[in-house]
């Protein structure tokens, strides 16, 4: 059996078409986009075309797209500038956000003495919208930061509802949409969101590139200073090949979205059925087995395994060529457990192994069968 990759929530395989497009740009378009000669103008043209493509897919103006090194930088840009430059004194977030948000708001609290309020969650980790409304009504100069799709359990936020709540309460709304853009269509004329973070490598594009959506006339200021690239929002010579790769990947993701969503949904459905059939007592964390409340690309499962075997399960799977995760890839090397699962699981369930399997168009039912057989043999 060839190696099996079930960790697309961490990063995705790059589409061959994207690699071909990036290779063409690297070979033929090596000018600096800030240069005024023909080589520079050519590079600039590629970037601006990519910006227009991304903007059209989200139904926004090209001037509202700021290319970054990825989702983490885009999160930091929005959160830091909102506090530093826009007068935000209160941030409402949740305890199961990505660390790119959690650690950033905690640092802002230390530096700027802002107030952080954590919205209540239900037993499956979904936002309590009534409590969010109460927090919004009780605060001024507020920014809400809530992710659209949770990267560990796949829970989906009603992003339109939250955006409308923020707007009616004169609060800013920022969302980390790293796990949803490319997998769900978002019309930002219909969703009054202010800031959004996106990463190219989550939808079969290259690593090291993403973008921030910054609503026009927001007043957001740069995180990185230097040149006047990205209309003054983000200094530094643009990685033209990465930006074009992101454009191509996002375009292809949306062109093939319905077909690929249907296929991946059948894979996840099959995986759930096989786990339930072969492992009585298996659990699914958050709402990851509920297709209405969780994304079709992520399944987070809690396996009925003795604690001593649980310790090395991930290692055993890796030895068999199976790649999955016990949580966010950004936590690798950390001895701490998942901060997401710690909010929604009992102490007993936290002692059991929870694995995140995340899917893409490149996976097959044969791979799922292999994973099931390996798990059966080990357990």
- Of the candidates 62, 83, 60, the one whose C-alpha atom is nearest the C-alpha of residue 192 is 60
Catalytic annotation present for 302: no
Sketch the domain layout of the chain as residue ranges.
Answer: 4-12+257-378, 16-255
What percentage of the chain reaches a pLDDT higher than 90? 89
Largest CA distance in the chain: 67
- Of the candidates 218, 244, 188, the one whose C-alpha atom is nearest the C-alpha of residue 67 is 244
| Catalytically annotated residue among 29, 166, 324, 330 | 330
The pLDDT tens digits of the residues spanning 278-302 come to 999 999 999 999 999 999 999 999 9
Q: Is the pLDDT of residue 333 over 50?
A: no
Instruction: Output the pLDDT for position 37.
Output: 97
Tell whether domain 4-12+257-378 is in CATH 3.40.50.2000. no
Dist CA 147 CA 174 (whole Å)? 8
Give the three-class secondary structure for 282: coil
Instruction: Output the pLDDT for position 334.
Output: 46
As its CATH architecture, domain 16-255 has: 3-Layer(aba) Sandwich (3.40)
> Alpha carbon of 241 to those of 32, 123, 141, 205, 324: distances in Å?
12, 44, 39, 11, 29
Q: 13: how many CB neighbours lie within 10 A of its CB?
A: 14
Dist CA 326 CA 338 (whole Å)? 8
> Alpha carbon of 75 to those of 70, 72, 102, 283, 288: distances in Å?
9, 5, 10, 32, 25
User: Do you know the residue count of the chain?
Assistant: 379
Dist CA 140 CA 90 (whole Å)? 7
Instruction: Output the pLDDT for position 126.
Output: 97
Using 50, 70 and 90 to split pLDDT, how confident is the model at 350? confident
CA angle 258-262-264, nearest 5°?
A: 115
In this prediction, residues 114-118 reach a mean pLDDT of 98
The residue assigned the tokens 């969650």 is 121
Using 50, 70 and 90 to split pLDDT, how confident is the model at 331? very low
DSSP letter at 169 equals: T
In this prediction, residues 42-65 reach a mean pLDDT of 98
* E strand or H helix at 232: none
Tokens for 198?
Answer: 């996106």
In this prediction, residues 84-113 reach a mean pLDDT of 97
In this prediction, residues 71-93 reach a mean pLDDT of 98
């Amino acid at each position: 059996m060839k190696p099996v990759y079930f960790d697309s929530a961490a990063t995705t395989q790059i589409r061959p078409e994207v690699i071909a497009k990036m290779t063409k740009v690297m070979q033929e378009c090596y000018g600096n986009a800030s240069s005024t000669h023909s080589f520079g103008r050519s590079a600039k043209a590629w970037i601006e075309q990519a910006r227009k493509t991304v903007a059209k897919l989200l139904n926004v103006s090209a001037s509202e797209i700021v290319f970054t090194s990825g989702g983490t930088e885009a999160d930091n840009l929005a959160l830091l500038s909102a506090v530093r430059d826009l007068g935000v004194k209160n941030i409402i977030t949740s305890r199961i956000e990505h660390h790119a948000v959690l650690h950033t708001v905690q640092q802002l609290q230390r530096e700027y003495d802002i107030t952080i309020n954590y919205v209540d969650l239900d037993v499956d980790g979904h936002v309590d919208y009534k409590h969010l409304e109460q927090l919004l009504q009780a605060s001024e100069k507020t920014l809400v930061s809530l992710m659209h799709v949770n990267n560990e359990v796949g829970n989906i936020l009603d992003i339109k509802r939250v955006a409308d709540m923020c707007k009616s309460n004169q609060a800013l709304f920022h969302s980390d949409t790293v796990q949803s853009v490319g997998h769900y269509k978002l019309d930002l004329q219909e969703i009054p969101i202010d800031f959004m973070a996106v990463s190219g490598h989550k939808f079969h594009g290259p690593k090291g590139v993403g973008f921030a959506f910054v609503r026009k006339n927001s007043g957001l200021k740069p995180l990185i200073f230097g040149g006047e690239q990205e209309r003054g929002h983000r200094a530094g010579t643009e990685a033209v090949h990465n930006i074009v790769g992101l454009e191509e990947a996002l375009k292809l993701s949306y062109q093939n979205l319905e077909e690929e969503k249907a296929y991946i949904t059948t894979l996840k459905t099959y995986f759930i059925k096989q786990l339930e059939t072969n492992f009585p007592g298996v659990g699914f964390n958050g709402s990851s087995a509920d297709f209405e409340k969780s994304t079709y690309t992520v399944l987070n499962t809690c396996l009925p395994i003795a604690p001593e075997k649980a310790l090395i399960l991930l290692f055993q799977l890796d030895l068999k060529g199976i790649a999955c995760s016990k949580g966010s890839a950004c936590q690798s090397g950390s001895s701490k457990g998942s901060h997401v699962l710690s909010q929604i699981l009992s102490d007993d369930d936290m002692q059991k192994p929870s694995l995140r399997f995340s899917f893409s168009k490149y996976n097959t039912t044969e791979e799922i069968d292999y994973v099931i057989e390996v798990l059966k043999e080990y357990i």
